[in-house]
Chains A and B, each alone.
Chain A
Amino acid sequence: GESVGLHLPTLSVQEGDNSIINCAYSNSASDYFIWYKQESGKGPQFIIDIRSNMDKRQGQRVTVLLNKTVKHLSLQIAATQPGDSAVYFCAEKRGTYKYIFGTGTRLKVLA
């Protein structure tokens, strides 16, 4: 079926280092993307979004980069903290209300 794929199912990062989570999407016409964070036992939570007319967007300790040429998204987390340990999903907007979610990357922060 339709999918937005992620290359690395698990990423282990030392506390304090930067994390980079990658995502490939399939529809070149998609114009809106979101990164979600899902902690154990919880639903996904919005982290940051980006529209296709942008290449980069920054939030607090997080940056999303969009490369439309190769249909690639990345989420960068600066100074990774133990509280960042979670599964991260990218989501691609399809149509008015539908979102296609990637397979997820589990981020493990090592003390």
Chain B
Amino acid sequence: SAVISQKPSRDICQRGTSLTIQCQVDSQVTMMFWYRQQPGQSLTLIATANQGSEATYESGFVIDKFPISRPNLTFSTLTVSNMSPEDSSIYLCSAIRDSGYTFGSGTRLTVV
């Protein structure tokens, strides 16, 4: 399975600021995915990031709030913009493997 490195692993941010989360895969993958996991909840897909094209966002998520970059086949970033306490969550990146996803270890974001 691919190894996915994600950073930062956690951060505490002031409301109104933005945080960019980085995700590095140890092999080339066509598609990468960003998920949000709110405290005690399941995983919700934010968007799908393809190299060379704009990300595809799920219902309830917009590019202005969660801009995504995918500059090459091994890297992606997710920015959480203009943060509010409601954005406090774990953010996970993932990539498709032969069987489902491989996930990074997540970024635990707390907005104060």
B37 to chain A, nearest CB (A): 9
Within 8 A of A (CB), among B68-112: 92, 94, 96-97, 99-106, 108
Determine the distance from Cα of A91 to Cα of B105 in the docked complex, in whole angstroms.
18
Across the interface, A42 reaches (CB within 8 A) one of B101, B102, B106, namely B106
Question: Can you name the residue of chain B whose Cβ is closest to the Cβ of A5?
Answer: B42
Interface centre among B6, B41, B100, B108 (most CB of A within 10 A): B100
Within 8 A of B (CB), among A45-103: 45-46, 49, 89, 91, 93, 97-99, 101-103
B105 touches A43 (CB 8 A): yes
B53 within 8 A of A: no
A44 touches B103 (CB 8 A): yes
Across the interface, A43 reaches (CB within 8 A) one of B41, B60, B99, B103, namely B103
Question: Can you name the residue of chain B whose Cβ is closest to the Cβ of A90?
Answer: B42
In the complex, chain B residues whose CB is within 8 Å of the CB of A3: 42
Question: Can you name the residue of chain B whose Cβ is closest to the Cβ of A41?
Answer: B105
A34 within 8 A of B: yes
In the complex, chain A residues whose CB is within 8 Å of the CB of B41: 103-104
B contact patch SS:
strand
Assuming A98-B45, A101-B42, A103-B41, is B100 touching A43 (CB within 8 A)? Answer: no
A91 touches B100 (CB 8 A): yes
A107 to chain B, nearest CB (A): 15
Assuming A46-B100, A49-B100, is B42 touching A102 (CB within 8 A)? Answer: yes
B31 within 8 A of A: yes
Partner-B contacts on A (CB < 8 A): 1, 3, 34, 36, 41-46, 49, 89, 91, 93, 97-99, 101-104
Partner-A contacts on B (CB < 8 A): 1, 4, 6, 31, 33, 41-45, 48, 59-60, 92, 94, 96-97, 99-106, 108
A-B contact pairs, 21 of them (CB 8 A): A1-B59, A1-B60, A34-B99, A36-B100, A41-B105, A41-B106, A41-B108, A42-B105, A43-B94, A43-B103, A43-B105, A44-B43, A44-B101, A44-B103, A46-B102, A49-B99, A93-B100, A97-B31, A97-B33, A99-B45, A103-B42
